[in-house]
Structure 1
Amino acid sequence: MGGLSLPHLIVMALVVLVLFGRGRISEMMGDFGKGIKSFKQGMHEEDNKPVPAPPAQIQQQQVPPAQPVSQPTSTTDQAQ
């Protein structure tokens, strides 16, 4: 009880063939195989990718402090 025997699997396979047809199942299995192949290639590329070196610390340059800007005197201020 509850298990799938060989006759059950054969009936299920025939139902699937009738519903989808042989061409559609072949196409789906081909797409599935291509997906597995591209997944494996992607995993292989990740393994071979060189590990980048950690970024070097940026040396801060010593910047001299800014000189205060003298305010120009206007002629109206002098007249008052």
Structure 2
Amino acid sequence: MGSLSIWHWLIVLAVVVLIFGTKKLKNVGSDLGSAVKGFKDGMRDGASDAPAPPPQQVTASKANDSHTVDVEAKTKS
């Protein structure tokens, strides 16, 4: 009674196919595969990349640039 036989698994598979349909199951399988592949690529890329340097602060020479916008931050009261 502890383990299920092959017939039990075939019945479960048939019920799942009847509920979801083969096209939906195929899409779920391909989505899961691409997610796992993306996760592995991200882990591989993350391990080899060095941490990014912090962003540079605006200096006085850059503050005079015509594309620089000077704003004053205010707190909400």
TM-score relative to the length of structure 1: 0.61
Matches within 5 A, 1:53-72: none
- The whole-number CA distance in structure 1 between the counterparts of 2:20 and 2:52 is 49
How many residue pairs were aligned? 53
Could you say which structure has the larger radius of gyration?
1
Cross-structure match for 1:41: 41
| TM-aligned CA distance change 1:21 to 1:50, over 3 Å | same
Matched, 1:4 2:7: no
Structure 1 gap ranges (5+): 54-80
Aligned CA RMSD, in angstroms, stands at: 1.6
Structure 2 gap ranges (5+): 54-77
Moved over 3 A (4+): none
TM-score relative to the length of structure 2: 0.63
- The whole-number CA distance in structure 1 between the counterparts of 2:46 and 2:14 is 41
